[in-house]
Amino acid sequence: MRNFKRLMVSLCVLAGIIGAGNGVFAKVVLDDIKLPEPVITGGMPLMEALKNRHSSTKFTKQEIPIQTLSNLLWAANGINRPDGKKTTPSALNAQVITIYAALPDGLYKYNPQMHTLEAFSKEDIRPIVGTKAPLILLYVANLARQSKYLASVDCGFIGQNVYLYSAANNLNTIFLYGVNSSALNYKLDLNLGEEVLFAQVVGFAPEK
């Protein structure tokens, strides 16, 4: 009996090691993040943010503070009205885009209703996108409910909001379309019909 118990423990450990490669084990050891309320007053005037908007692949290694992350995700696709509608428009109000946030400590799914980052995997998947920038936003579309054409339009709206928030807050960002969707779809364990369409990299701008 003692040997049997040891065997079962060994098998469980082995299963955990194997599962860690696809996020099964990693999900257990990563906590959800309850984001602070977004700061939605003040800030740079819109016209100045538009003037400063640009794409850049230059980032420092500084991690994104949680308040900045909260503000950024709310700007990207947060709820801004009592009826549950969002900061970005959605074609036919289909709301088919889900944002995942790849951070140094793991992968999270943004829940706009709760304004929470739901823990998904402890694995650092940023190298799949080809960068170690402190934040990568992955835009996942449910193509079972909306065409890729219209879903891509929605991603563009979200991306522009991220650009404007970044321009107003000393962040650099770039919107990427040439991502390894197959590898990312696998890591995110997406349902049939769901697909990573784009990624957007965000980080603090280096000092000039």
Reported as a single tens digit per residue, the pLDDT across 53-93 is 999 999 999 999 999 999 999 999 999 999 999 999 999 99
The answer to whether the CB of 78 falls within 8 A of the CB of 69 is no
Reported as a single tens digit per residue, the pLDDT across 101-159 is 999 999 999 999 999 999 999 999 999 999 989 999 999 999 999 999 999 999 999 99
Give the domain range for residue 9: 1-30
Same structural domain, 75 and 89: yes
Q: What is the CATH number of the domain that holds 168?
A: 3.40.109.10
Same structural domain, 67 and 106: yes
Higher-scoring residue by pLDDT: 178, 175 = 175
Same structural domain, 39 and 17: no
The pTM for the full model equals 0.85
List, in order, residues 6 or more apart from 39 with CB less than 8 Å away: 67, 71
Same structural domain, 23 and 59: no
The answer to whether the CB of 187 falls within 8 A of the CB of 160 is no
Same structural domain, 22 and 45: no
Same structural domain, 49 and 74: yes
Cα separation of the two ends of the chain: 67
Angle 19-192-94 (CA atoms, 0-180°, nearest 5)? 125
Same structural domain, 10 and 75: no
Reported as a single tens digit per residue, the pLDDT across 26-44 is 454 689 999 999 999 999 9
Q: Look at residue 30 in the predicted model and tell me its pLDDT.
A: 83
Same structural domain, 9 and 109: no
Which of the 8 DSSP states describes residue 79? B
Query: Considering its fold, how many domains does the chain have in total?
Result: 2
Q: Look at residue 207 in the predicted model and tell me its pLDDT.
A: 86
Same structural domain, 48 and 82: yes
- Backbone dihedral region for residue 152 (phi beyond 0: left; psi -120 to 50: alpha; all else: beta): alpha
What is the side-by-side strand order in the sheet with 116-121?
33-34, 116-121, 106-111, 97-103, 135-142, 194-204, 171-176
Same structural domain, 72 and 7: no
Same structural domain, 26 and 37: no
